[in-house]
A = this chain, B = another copy of it.
Amino acid sequence: MSASGFAMNIAGDHAQVVLISVFVAVLCLCLVIGHLLEENRWLNESTTAIIIGCITGTIILLLSKGKSSHILRFNEELFFIYLLPPIIFNAGFQVKKKQFFQNFITIMLFGVIGVFISSSIITAGAWWLFPRFGFTGLSAQDYLAIGTIFSSTDTVCTLQVLHQDETPLLYSLVFGEGVVNDATSVVLFNAVQKLDKSKLNGWAALRVLLDSLYLFSTSTALGVVAGLLTAYTLKTLYIGRHSTVREIALMVLMAYLSYTLAELFHLSGILTVFFCGILMSHYASHNVTQSSRITTRHIFATMSFIAETFIFLYVGIDALDIEKWKLSKLSFRTSVGIYSTVVLLISLGRAAFVFPLSTFSNYVHRRADRLSSISFKHQVIIWWAGLMRGAVSIALAFKQFTYSGVTLDPANATMVTTTIIVVLFTTLVFGFLTKPLISFLQPHHTNNNTSHGEPRSPKEDLSLPLLSLEESAETNILRAKESLSMLIERPVYTIHNYWRKFDDTYMRPVFGGPCRDQSAC
Protein backbone atom coordinates (compact mmCIF):
# COMPACT_ATOMS: atom_id res chain seq x y z
CA MET A 1 0.00 0.00 0.00
CA SER A 2 1.36 3.34 -0.90
CA ALA A 3 1.55 6.82 0.45
CA SER A 4 -1.79 8.38 -0.15
CA GLY A 5 -3.34 5.03 0.54
CA PHE A 6 -2.17 5.70 4.07
CA ALA A 7 -3.42 9.26 4.02
CA MET A 8 -6.80 7.79 3.29
CA ASN A 9 -6.59 5.27 6.07
CA ILE A 10 -6.67 8.12 8.51
CA ALA A 11 -10.15 8.93 7.27
CA GLY A 12 -10.94 5.24 7.66
CA ASP A 13 -11.09 4.26 4.01
CA HIS A 14 -10.11 4.87 0.43
CA ALA A 15 -13.17 7.00 -0.24
CA GLN A 16 -11.43 10.11 -1.49
CA VAL A 17 -9.02 8.30 -3.82
CA VAL A 18 -11.90 6.25 -5.22
CA LEU A 19 -13.90 9.42 -5.77
CA ILE A 20 -11.05 11.26 -7.48
CA SER A 21 -10.27 8.25 -9.66
CA VAL A 22 -13.88 7.88 -10.73
CA PHE A 23 -14.22 11.56 -11.51
CA VAL A 24 -10.96 11.77 -13.45
CA ALA A 25 -11.71 8.59 -15.38
CA VAL A 26 -15.20 9.79 -16.28
CA LEU A 27 -13.79 13.19 -17.27
CA CYS A 28 -11.41 11.44 -19.67
CA LEU A 29 -14.35 9.50 -21.06
CA CYS A 30 -16.30 12.75 -21.55
CA LEU A 31 -13.36 14.25 -23.42
CA VAL A 32 -13.06 11.35 -25.80
CA ILE A 33 -16.82 11.07 -26.37
CA GLY A 34 -17.05 14.85 -26.79
CA HIS A 35 -14.36 14.58 -29.45
CA LEU A 36 -16.18 11.78 -31.26
CA LEU A 37 -19.46 13.70 -31.17
CA GLU A 38 -17.88 16.96 -32.33
CA GLU A 39 -19.64 16.89 -35.68
CA ASN A 40 -22.91 15.59 -34.30
CA ARG A 41 -25.92 17.74 -35.07
CA TRP A 42 -27.84 17.27 -31.81
CA LEU A 43 -25.42 16.58 -29.00
CA ASN A 44 -22.78 18.84 -27.55
CA GLU A 45 -20.20 18.62 -24.81
CA SER A 46 -22.46 19.85 -21.98
CA THR A 47 -25.34 17.50 -22.73
CA THR A 48 -22.92 14.61 -23.18
CA ALA A 49 -21.32 15.37 -19.82
CA ILE A 50 -24.70 15.58 -18.08
CA ILE A 51 -25.86 12.29 -19.60
CA ILE A 52 -22.59 10.56 -18.69
CA GLY A 53 -22.94 12.06 -15.20
CA CYS A 54 -26.44 10.60 -14.84
CA ILE A 55 -25.20 7.19 -16.00
CA THR A 56 -22.25 7.35 -13.58
CA GLY A 57 -24.57 8.39 -10.76
CA THR A 58 -26.86 5.44 -11.52
CA ILE A 59 -23.93 3.03 -11.52
CA ILE A 60 -22.64 4.42 -8.22
CA LEU A 61 -26.13 4.17 -6.72
CA LEU A 62 -26.51 0.58 -7.86
CA LEU A 63 -23.03 -0.43 -6.70
CA SER A 64 -23.46 1.16 -3.28
CA LYS A 65 -27.09 0.00 -3.04
CA GLY A 66 -28.50 3.46 -2.53
CA LYS A 67 -26.14 4.49 0.25
CA SER A 68 -23.89 6.83 -1.64
CA SER A 69 -25.92 10.02 -1.44
CA HIS A 70 -23.19 11.80 0.48
CA ILE A 71 -20.62 11.24 -2.26
CA LEU A 72 -22.97 12.58 -4.89
CA ARG A 73 -23.95 15.76 -3.08
CA PHE A 74 -23.16 19.05 -4.78
CA ASN A 75 -20.40 20.92 -2.99
CA GLU A 76 -20.76 24.69 -3.34
CA GLU A 77 -17.33 25.33 -1.89
CA LEU A 78 -15.67 23.22 -4.56
CA PHE A 79 -17.74 25.04 -7.14
CA PHE A 80 -17.19 28.61 -5.99
CA ILE A 81 -13.57 28.33 -4.86
CA TYR A 82 -12.06 26.01 -7.46
CA LEU A 83 -14.26 25.53 -10.53
CA LEU A 84 -15.85 28.91 -11.22
CA PRO A 85 -12.70 31.13 -11.11
CA PRO A 86 -10.90 29.44 -14.04
CA ILE A 87 -14.04 29.54 -16.18
CA ILE A 88 -14.67 33.23 -15.62
CA PHE A 89 -11.02 34.19 -15.83
CA ASN A 90 -10.71 32.38 -19.12
CA ALA A 91 -13.84 34.17 -20.38
CA GLY A 92 -12.12 37.47 -19.67
CA PHE A 93 -8.80 36.31 -21.05
CA GLN A 94 -10.17 35.05 -24.35
CA VAL A 95 -12.88 37.66 -24.92
CA LYS A 96 -12.44 39.74 -28.05
CA LYS A 97 -12.08 42.99 -26.20
CA LYS A 98 -12.80 45.24 -29.14
CA GLN A 99 -16.22 43.75 -29.77
CA PHE A 100 -16.98 43.41 -26.09
CA PHE A 101 -16.38 47.09 -25.42
CA GLN A 102 -18.03 48.25 -28.65
CA ASN A 103 -21.21 46.50 -27.56
CA PHE A 104 -20.64 47.33 -23.91
CA ILE A 105 -23.89 49.25 -23.39
CA THR A 106 -26.10 46.60 -24.98
CA ILE A 107 -24.32 43.85 -23.02
CA MET A 108 -24.82 45.75 -19.79
CA LEU A 109 -28.50 46.32 -20.62
CA PHE A 110 -29.00 42.58 -21.09
CA GLY A 111 -26.72 41.45 -18.29
CA VAL A 112 -27.75 43.86 -15.55
CA ILE A 113 -31.16 45.35 -16.30
CA GLY A 114 -32.20 42.02 -17.84
CA VAL A 115 -31.47 40.09 -14.65
CA PHE A 116 -33.47 42.60 -12.60
CA ILE A 117 -36.47 42.33 -14.96
CA SER A 118 -36.23 38.55 -15.26
CA SER A 119 -35.94 37.92 -11.53
CA SER A 120 -38.83 40.27 -10.77
CA ILE A 121 -41.06 38.38 -13.17
CA ILE A 122 -39.96 34.95 -11.90
CA THR A 123 -40.40 36.03 -8.27
CA ALA A 124 -43.85 37.48 -8.92
CA GLY A 125 -44.93 34.52 -11.03
CA ALA A 126 -43.74 31.94 -8.49
CA TRP A 127 -45.36 33.85 -5.65
CA TRP A 128 -48.64 33.89 -7.53
CA LEU A 129 -48.58 30.39 -9.04
CA PHE A 130 -46.83 28.07 -6.56
CA PRO A 131 -49.65 28.18 -3.96
CA ARG A 132 -52.18 27.34 -6.70
CA PHE A 133 -50.49 23.94 -7.05
CA GLY A 134 -50.79 23.47 -3.30
CA PHE A 135 -47.07 24.14 -2.79
CA THR A 136 -46.51 26.41 0.21
CA GLY A 137 -43.95 26.86 2.94
CA LEU A 138 -41.62 29.38 1.27
CA SER A 139 -40.87 32.79 2.78
CA ALA A 140 -40.86 36.10 0.90
CA GLN A 141 -37.07 35.97 0.87
CA ASP A 142 -37.19 32.48 -0.61
CA TYR A 143 -39.28 33.78 -3.49
CA LEU A 144 -36.84 36.63 -4.10
CA ALA A 145 -34.01 34.10 -4.08
CA ILE A 146 -35.88 31.89 -6.55
CA GLY A 147 -36.07 34.87 -8.88
CA THR A 148 -32.28 35.32 -8.87
CA ILE A 149 -31.55 31.57 -8.92
CA PHE A 150 -33.51 31.10 -12.13
CA SER A 151 -32.20 34.28 -13.73
CA SER A 152 -28.61 33.07 -13.99
CA THR A 153 -28.21 31.69 -17.48
CA ASP A 154 -25.77 29.22 -18.93
CA THR A 155 -24.83 30.20 -22.46
CA VAL A 156 -22.17 27.54 -23.00
CA CYS A 157 -24.47 25.40 -25.17
CA THR A 158 -25.26 28.23 -27.52
CA LEU A 159 -21.72 29.54 -27.65
CA GLN A 160 -20.55 26.13 -28.80
CA VAL A 161 -22.86 26.48 -31.79
CA LEU A 162 -22.32 30.14 -32.67
CA HIS A 163 -19.09 31.14 -34.35
CA GLN A 164 -17.23 34.24 -33.32
CA ASP A 165 -16.02 34.95 -36.86
CA GLU A 166 -19.30 34.33 -38.62
CA THR A 167 -21.62 36.36 -36.41
CA PRO A 168 -19.38 38.61 -34.33
CA LEU A 169 -22.12 40.90 -33.01
CA LEU A 170 -24.40 38.03 -31.96
CA TYR A 171 -21.53 36.05 -30.43
CA SER A 172 -20.28 39.06 -28.55
CA LEU A 173 -23.75 39.82 -27.15
CA VAL A 174 -24.48 36.25 -26.08
CA PHE A 175 -21.01 35.78 -24.63
CA GLY A 176 -20.91 39.15 -22.89
CA GLU A 177 -24.38 38.78 -21.46
CA GLY A 178 -23.49 35.32 -20.16
CA VAL A 179 -20.57 36.63 -18.13
CA VAL A 180 -22.26 39.78 -16.84
CA ASN A 181 -25.38 37.79 -16.07
CA ASP A 182 -23.44 35.33 -13.89
CA ALA A 183 -21.94 38.16 -11.91
CA THR A 184 -25.21 40.09 -11.60
CA SER A 185 -27.24 37.13 -10.45
CA VAL A 186 -24.66 36.12 -7.84
CA VAL A 187 -24.40 39.72 -6.61
CA LEU A 188 -28.20 40.07 -6.53
CA PHE A 189 -28.59 36.73 -4.79
CA ASN A 190 -26.16 37.77 -2.10
CA ALA A 191 -27.96 41.08 -1.65
CA VAL A 192 -31.23 39.17 -1.23
CA GLN A 193 -29.67 36.84 1.35
CA LYS A 194 -28.48 39.85 3.33
CA LEU A 195 -31.95 41.42 3.35
CA ASP A 196 -33.55 41.91 6.69
CA LYS A 197 -36.58 39.71 6.34
CA SER A 198 -38.85 41.94 8.38
CA LYS A 199 -38.30 45.02 6.24
CA LEU A 200 -39.11 44.31 2.63
CA ASN A 201 -40.03 47.69 1.20
CA GLY A 202 -38.87 50.33 -1.26
CA TRP A 203 -35.82 51.22 0.82
CA ALA A 204 -34.70 47.62 0.82
CA ALA A 205 -34.92 47.53 -2.98
CA LEU A 206 -32.88 50.74 -3.18
CA ARG A 207 -30.29 49.28 -0.82
CA VAL A 208 -30.01 46.16 -2.96
CA LEU A 209 -29.42 48.42 -5.95
CA LEU A 210 -26.80 50.56 -4.20
CA ASP A 211 -25.08 47.50 -2.76
CA SER A 212 -24.86 46.00 -6.23
CA LEU A 213 -23.46 49.22 -7.71
CA TYR A 214 -20.83 49.41 -4.96
CA LEU A 215 -19.87 45.76 -5.53
CA PHE A 216 -19.66 46.27 -9.27
CA SER A 217 -17.30 49.22 -9.04
CA THR A 218 -15.02 47.93 -6.28
CA SER A 219 -14.76 44.44 -7.74
CA THR A 220 -13.93 45.80 -11.17
CA ALA A 221 -11.32 48.11 -9.67
CA LEU A 222 -9.67 45.23 -7.80
CA GLY A 223 -9.54 43.13 -10.96
CA VAL A 224 -8.03 45.99 -12.95
CA VAL A 225 -5.42 46.65 -10.28
CA ALA A 226 -4.47 42.96 -10.08
CA GLY A 227 -4.14 42.73 -13.86
CA LEU A 228 -2.07 45.91 -14.11
CA LEU A 229 0.16 44.87 -11.21
CA THR A 230 0.91 41.53 -12.89
CA ALA A 231 1.63 43.24 -16.20
CA TYR A 232 3.89 45.79 -14.54
CA THR A 233 5.81 43.16 -12.56
CA LEU A 234 6.32 40.98 -15.62
CA LYS A 235 7.43 43.94 -17.72
CA THR A 236 9.77 45.55 -15.18
CA LEU A 237 11.45 42.39 -13.94
CA TYR A 238 11.30 40.57 -17.27
CA ILE A 239 10.94 37.31 -15.41
CA GLY A 240 11.08 35.19 -18.57
CA ARG A 241 14.78 36.06 -18.81
CA HIS A 242 15.58 33.41 -16.21
CA SER A 243 12.64 31.03 -16.39
CA THR A 244 9.48 30.85 -18.46
CA VAL A 245 7.97 28.63 -15.80
CA ARG A 246 8.09 31.46 -13.29
CA GLU A 247 6.20 33.91 -15.50
CA ILE A 248 3.50 31.35 -16.26
CA ALA A 249 3.20 30.52 -12.57
CA LEU A 250 3.01 34.20 -11.69
CA MET A 251 0.17 34.84 -14.14
CA VAL A 252 -1.82 31.84 -12.94
CA LEU A 253 -1.28 32.63 -9.29
CA MET A 254 -2.03 36.36 -9.61
CA ALA A 255 -5.26 35.55 -11.46
CA TYR A 256 -6.34 33.24 -8.68
CA LEU A 257 -5.16 35.68 -6.03
CA SER A 258 -7.41 38.39 -7.46
CA TYR A 259 -10.38 36.06 -7.02
CA THR A 260 -9.59 35.02 -3.46
CA LEU A 261 -8.79 38.61 -2.45
CA ALA A 262 -12.17 39.71 -3.77
CA GLU A 263 -13.82 36.99 -1.73
CA LEU A 264 -11.75 37.98 1.26
CA PHE A 265 -13.01 41.57 1.09
CA HIS A 266 -16.59 40.36 0.45
CA LEU A 267 -16.54 41.63 -3.13
CA SER A 268 -17.67 39.76 -6.23
CA GLY A 269 -14.85 37.42 -7.19
CA ILE A 270 -16.49 36.71 -10.54
CA LEU A 271 -16.32 40.32 -11.69
CA THR A 272 -12.82 40.78 -10.31
CA VAL A 273 -11.39 37.74 -12.01
CA PHE A 274 -13.18 38.60 -15.27
CA PHE A 275 -11.63 42.06 -15.45
CA CYS A 276 -8.30 40.68 -14.27
CA GLY A 277 -8.48 38.30 -17.24
CA ILE A 278 -9.21 41.13 -19.67
CA LEU A 279 -6.33 43.23 -18.35
CA MET A 280 -3.93 40.30 -18.34
CA SER A 281 -4.65 39.37 -21.94
CA HIS A 282 -4.41 43.03 -22.93
CA TYR A 283 -1.13 43.87 -21.19
CA ALA A 284 0.52 41.06 -19.22
CA SER A 285 0.46 38.44 -21.97
CA HIS A 286 2.60 40.75 -24.14
CA ASN A 287 5.33 40.91 -21.51
CA VAL A 288 6.13 37.21 -21.52
CA THR A 289 8.10 35.04 -23.90
CA GLN A 290 6.44 33.61 -26.99
CA SER A 291 6.16 30.09 -25.58
CA SER A 292 4.71 31.39 -22.31
CA ARG A 293 2.10 33.31 -24.27
CA ILE A 294 1.02 30.16 -26.11
CA THR A 295 1.11 28.20 -22.88
CA THR A 296 -0.91 30.60 -20.73
CA ARG A 297 -3.60 30.90 -23.39
CA HIS A 298 -3.87 27.11 -23.51
CA ILE A 299 -3.57 26.62 -19.76
CA PHE A 300 -6.45 28.94 -19.04
CA ALA A 301 -8.57 27.42 -21.81
CA THR A 302 -7.81 23.91 -20.59
CA MET A 303 -8.54 24.69 -16.94
CA SER A 304 -11.79 26.33 -17.94
CA PHE A 305 -12.70 23.40 -20.16
CA ILE A 306 -11.99 20.82 -17.46
CA ALA A 307 -13.91 22.85 -14.87
CA GLU A 308 -16.90 23.21 -17.19
CA THR A 309 -17.01 19.54 -18.09
CA PHE A 310 -16.58 18.65 -14.44
CA ILE A 311 -19.51 20.86 -13.46
CA PHE A 312 -21.88 19.33 -16.00
CA LEU A 313 -20.75 15.87 -14.98
CA TYR A 314 -21.30 16.80 -11.37
CA VAL A 315 -24.76 18.17 -12.05
CA GLY A 316 -25.60 14.90 -13.78
CA ILE A 317 -24.28 12.81 -10.88
CA ASP A 318 -25.90 15.09 -8.31
CA ALA A 319 -29.32 14.51 -9.86
CA LEU A 320 -29.08 10.95 -8.53
CA ASP A 321 -28.83 11.99 -4.88
CA ILE A 322 -31.94 10.10 -3.84
CA GLU A 323 -32.31 11.55 -0.34
CA LYS A 324 -33.49 14.88 -1.71
CA TRP A 325 -36.10 13.13 -3.79
CA LYS A 326 -37.41 11.20 -0.83
CA LEU A 327 -37.82 14.38 1.21
CA SER A 328 -39.90 16.26 -1.31
CA LYS A 329 -43.34 14.85 -0.59
CA LEU A 330 -45.33 16.35 -3.42
CA SER A 331 -47.53 14.39 -5.80
CA PHE A 332 -46.29 13.77 -9.30
CA ARG A 333 -48.87 16.20 -10.72
CA THR A 334 -47.90 19.03 -8.39
CA SER A 335 -44.21 18.45 -9.12
CA VAL A 336 -44.73 18.55 -12.86
CA GLY A 337 -46.86 21.66 -12.39
CA ILE A 338 -44.06 23.41 -10.52
CA TYR A 339 -41.40 22.36 -13.00
CA SER A 340 -43.40 23.60 -15.97
CA THR A 341 -44.28 26.83 -14.16
CA VAL A 342 -40.60 27.56 -13.60
CA VAL A 343 -39.67 26.77 -17.20
CA LEU A 344 -42.53 28.95 -18.41
CA LEU A 345 -41.54 31.80 -16.11
CA ILE A 346 -37.94 31.55 -17.29
CA SER A 347 -39.03 31.88 -20.93
CA LEU A 348 -41.40 34.73 -20.12
CA GLY A 349 -38.92 36.56 -17.88
CA ARG A 350 -36.32 36.36 -20.60
CA ALA A 351 -38.64 37.42 -23.40
CA ALA A 352 -39.73 40.35 -21.24
CA PHE A 353 -36.30 41.95 -21.47
CA VAL A 354 -34.60 40.58 -24.60
CA PHE A 355 -37.10 41.96 -27.11
CA PRO A 356 -37.75 45.39 -25.48
CA LEU A 357 -34.06 45.96 -24.69
CA SER A 358 -33.01 44.91 -28.20
CA THR A 359 -35.51 47.38 -29.65
CA PHE A 360 -34.17 50.04 -27.32
CA SER A 361 -30.58 49.22 -28.31
CA ASN A 362 -31.51 49.34 -32.00
CA TYR A 363 -33.16 52.72 -31.42
CA VAL A 364 -30.01 54.10 -29.77
CA HIS A 365 -27.74 52.80 -32.54
CA ARG A 366 -30.29 53.62 -35.24
CA ARG A 367 -28.54 56.60 -36.81
CA ALA A 368 -25.15 54.98 -37.15
CA ASP A 369 -25.63 52.00 -39.40
CA ARG A 370 -28.60 49.77 -39.88
CA LEU A 371 -26.48 46.70 -40.31
CA SER A 372 -25.11 46.58 -36.78
CA SER A 373 -28.61 46.53 -35.35
CA ILE A 374 -30.01 43.38 -33.79
CA SER A 375 -32.37 41.69 -36.26
CA PHE A 376 -35.46 39.87 -35.02
CA LYS A 377 -33.89 36.52 -35.79
CA HIS A 378 -30.90 37.46 -33.70
CA GLN A 379 -33.21 38.54 -30.91
CA VAL A 380 -34.79 35.10 -30.96
CA ILE A 381 -31.35 33.48 -30.79
CA ILE A 382 -30.34 35.72 -27.89
CA TRP A 383 -33.58 34.86 -26.12
CA TRP A 384 -33.00 31.16 -26.74
CA ALA A 385 -29.34 31.26 -25.73
CA GLY A 386 -30.30 32.38 -22.23
CA LEU A 387 -32.97 29.77 -21.59
CA MET A 388 -30.50 27.16 -20.37
CA ARG A 389 -29.83 27.04 -16.65
CA GLY A 390 -26.57 25.69 -15.31
CA ALA A 391 -24.26 25.13 -12.39
CA VAL A 392 -24.63 28.63 -10.95
CA SER A 393 -28.36 28.04 -10.48
CA ILE A 394 -27.66 24.75 -8.72
CA ALA A 395 -25.00 26.27 -6.50
CA LEU A 396 -27.25 29.17 -5.51
CA ALA A 397 -30.19 26.84 -4.87
CA PHE A 398 -28.05 24.72 -2.55
CA LYS A 399 -26.90 27.90 -0.81
CA GLN A 400 -30.43 29.14 -0.24
CA PHE A 401 -32.26 25.94 0.52
CA THR A 402 -29.76 23.67 2.25
CA TYR A 403 -27.29 23.82 5.06
CA SER A 404 -23.99 22.27 3.89
CA GLY A 405 -25.90 20.34 1.24
CA VAL A 406 -28.44 18.92 3.69
CA THR A 407 -32.02 19.99 4.18
CA LEU A 408 -34.79 18.52 6.30
CA ASP A 409 -37.54 20.86 5.19
CA PRO A 410 -39.80 19.38 2.45
CA ALA A 411 -40.39 22.77 0.80
CA ASN A 412 -36.64 23.42 0.61
CA ALA A 413 -35.97 19.91 -0.70
CA THR A 414 -38.61 20.52 -3.37
CA MET A 415 -36.90 23.71 -4.49
CA VAL A 416 -33.54 21.92 -4.75
CA THR A 417 -35.01 19.09 -6.80
CA THR A 418 -36.94 21.61 -8.92
CA THR A 419 -33.69 23.43 -9.69
CA ILE A 420 -32.00 20.17 -10.68
CA ILE A 421 -34.92 19.16 -12.90
CA VAL A 422 -35.03 22.60 -14.53
CA VAL A 423 -31.29 22.54 -15.17
CA LEU A 424 -31.44 19.04 -16.61
CA PHE A 425 -34.51 19.81 -18.72
CA THR A 426 -33.26 23.11 -20.12
CA THR A 427 -29.75 21.83 -20.78
CA LEU A 428 -30.83 18.56 -22.34
CA VAL A 429 -34.02 19.50 -24.22
CA PHE A 430 -33.20 23.10 -25.13
CA GLY A 431 -29.58 22.08 -25.64
CA PHE A 432 -30.66 19.39 -28.11
CA LEU A 433 -32.69 21.92 -30.05
CA THR A 434 -30.07 24.68 -30.15
CA LYS A 435 -28.08 23.49 -33.16
CA PRO A 436 -31.16 22.82 -35.34
CA LEU A 437 -32.80 26.08 -34.27
CA ILE A 438 -29.78 28.20 -35.09
CA SER A 439 -29.19 26.52 -38.43
CA PHE A 440 -32.90 27.12 -39.16
CA LEU A 441 -32.68 30.81 -38.25
CA GLN A 442 -29.35 31.40 -39.99
CA PRO A 443 -29.44 29.01 -42.93
CA HIS A 444 -26.98 30.65 -45.32
CA HIS A 445 -25.99 33.79 -43.52
CA THR A 446 -22.71 32.41 -42.32
CA ASN A 447 -20.52 34.85 -44.18
CA ASN A 448 -22.77 37.84 -44.62
CA ASN A 449 -22.51 38.99 -41.06
CA THR A 450 -18.77 39.12 -41.11
CA SER A 451 -18.93 41.62 -43.93
CA HIS A 452 -21.41 43.68 -41.93
CA GLY A 453 -19.74 43.80 -38.60
CA GLU A 454 -16.08 44.38 -39.26
CA PRO A 455 -15.22 46.68 -42.12
CA ARG A 456 -18.14 48.99 -41.48
CA SER A 457 -16.96 49.91 -38.03
CA PRO A 458 -15.91 53.56 -38.06
CA LYS A 459 -12.83 53.18 -35.89
CA GLU A 460 -10.41 53.70 -38.72
CA ASP A 461 -12.07 56.89 -39.85
CA LEU A 462 -11.96 58.22 -36.34
CA SER A 463 -8.44 57.47 -35.39
CA LEU A 464 -6.63 58.49 -38.52
CA PRO A 465 -7.11 62.29 -38.30
CA LEU A 466 -5.55 62.20 -34.87
CA LEU A 467 -2.61 59.99 -35.73
CA SER A 468 -1.53 60.30 -39.33
CA LEU A 469 0.27 63.55 -40.00
CA GLU A 470 1.60 62.61 -43.38
CA GLU A 471 -1.68 62.78 -45.22
CA SER A 472 -2.87 65.74 -47.21
CA ALA A 473 -4.68 68.53 -45.39
CA GLU A 474 -7.72 68.09 -47.55
CA THR A 475 -8.21 64.46 -46.64
CA ASN A 476 -7.67 65.34 -43.03
CA ILE A 477 -10.34 68.01 -43.01
CA LEU A 478 -12.74 65.66 -44.73
CA ARG A 479 -11.99 62.95 -42.21
CA ALA A 480 -12.21 65.38 -39.32
CA LYS A 481 -15.69 66.39 -40.42
CA GLU A 482 -16.68 62.75 -40.64
CA SER A 483 -15.34 62.00 -37.22
CA LEU A 484 -17.08 65.03 -35.73
CA SER A 485 -20.43 63.83 -37.01
CA MET A 486 -19.47 60.37 -35.78
CA LEU A 487 -18.78 61.74 -32.31
CA ILE A 488 -22.28 63.15 -32.15
CA GLU A 489 -23.92 60.08 -33.55
CA ARG A 490 -21.97 57.25 -31.93
CA PRO A 491 -20.68 58.20 -28.50
CA VAL A 492 -19.63 54.62 -27.63
CA TYR A 493 -17.33 54.29 -30.59
CA THR A 494 -15.83 57.67 -29.83
CA ILE A 495 -15.19 56.86 -26.19
CA HIS A 496 -13.66 53.60 -27.34
CA ASN A 497 -11.44 55.46 -29.73
CA TYR A 498 -10.23 57.96 -27.13
CA TRP A 499 -9.51 55.03 -24.88
CA ARG A 500 -7.34 53.51 -27.59
CA LYS A 501 -5.36 56.70 -27.92
CA PHE A 502 -4.94 56.90 -24.15
CA ASP A 503 -3.98 53.23 -24.11
CA ASP A 504 -1.32 53.70 -26.78
CA THR A 505 0.14 56.85 -25.28
CA TYR A 506 0.16 56.11 -21.56
CA MET A 507 -0.84 52.55 -20.66
CA ARG A 508 1.07 50.36 -23.12
CA PRO A 509 4.46 51.97 -22.55
CA VAL A 510 4.09 51.28 -18.82
CA PHE A 511 2.21 47.99 -18.72
CA GLY A 512 3.28 46.40 -21.99
CA GLY A 513 1.64 45.42 -25.23
CA PRO A 514 2.49 45.88 -28.88
CA CYS A 515 2.62 49.45 -30.15
CA ARG A 516 -0.10 49.59 -32.76
CA ASP A 517 0.75 50.51 -36.30
CA GLN A 518 -1.03 53.69 -37.15
CA SER A 519 -2.54 52.08 -40.20
CA ALA A 520 -3.65 49.07 -38.21
CA CYS A 521 -5.69 51.11 -35.76
A245-B404 contact given A1-B266, A4-B77, A268-B2, CB 8 Å threshold: no
Question: Would you call A344 an interface residue if the criterion is a C-beta within 8 Å of the partner chain's C-beta atoms?
Answer: no
Residues of B within 8 A of A7 (CB): 76-77, 79-81, 399
Contact A253 B27 (CB under 8 A): yes
A375 interface residue per 8 A CB criterion: no
Q: Does A36 contact B (CB under 8 A)?
A: yes
A1-36 CB mask vs B (1 if < 8 Å, else 0) is: 111111110100010111011001101100110111
Q: Is the interface of A mostly helix, strand, loop or mixed?
A: helix
With CB as the reference atom, state the residue of chain B lying closest to A1: B266
With contact pairs A2-B266, A24-B260 given, residues A249 and B10 touching in the complex (Cβ less than 8 Å)? no
Complex Cα distance, B252 from A237, in Å, reads 30
A301 x B17 contact (CB < 8 A): no
- Identical subunits present: 2
| Contacts known (A246-B34, A298-B245); A24 close to B237, Cβ less than 8 A | no
Query: Is the Cβ of A264 less than 8 Å from the Cβ of B295?
Result: no
**Bound CA span A187–B264, Å:** 41
Contacting A1 at CB < 8 Å: which of B2, B194, B233, B298? B194
State how many residues of chain A have any CB contact under 8 Å with chain B: 78
Docked pose: A261 CA to B244 CA in angstroms: 32
- What 0/1 readout, one digit per residue, does chain A (289-309) give for beta carbons within 8 Å of chain B? 001101100110110011000
When distances are taken between beta carbons in the complex, the residues of chain B under 8 Å from A17 are 81, 260, 263-264
Q: Say whether A215 faces chain B, with CB atoms less than 8 Å apart.
A: yes
Which of B24, B250, B260, B301 sits near A32, CB closer than 8 Å? B250
Q: Report Cα–Cα, A448/B14, bound state, in Å.
A: 52
- B248–A298 CB distance below 8 A: yes
Residue A269 is within 8 A (CB to CB) of chain B in the complex: yes
Among A223-262, those with CB < 8 Å from B are 233, 237, 239, 242-246, 248-250, 252-254, 256-257, 260-262
* A84 interface contact, C-beta 8 A: yes
Interface flag for A144 (CB, 8 Å): no
10 contacts between A and B (CB under 8 A): A4-B77, A6-B193, A10-B404, A16-B77, A17-B81, A17-B260, A31-B239, A35-B243, A245-B305, A249-B302
**Beyond known contacts A2-B268, A25-B257, A38-B242: 16 more, CB 8 A cutoff:** A2-B186, A2-B262, A2-B266, A3-B84, A3-B186, A4-B263, A6-B399, A7-B79, A10-B77, A10-B403, A21-B261, A31-B239, A32-B250, A35-B242, A36-B237, A294-B295
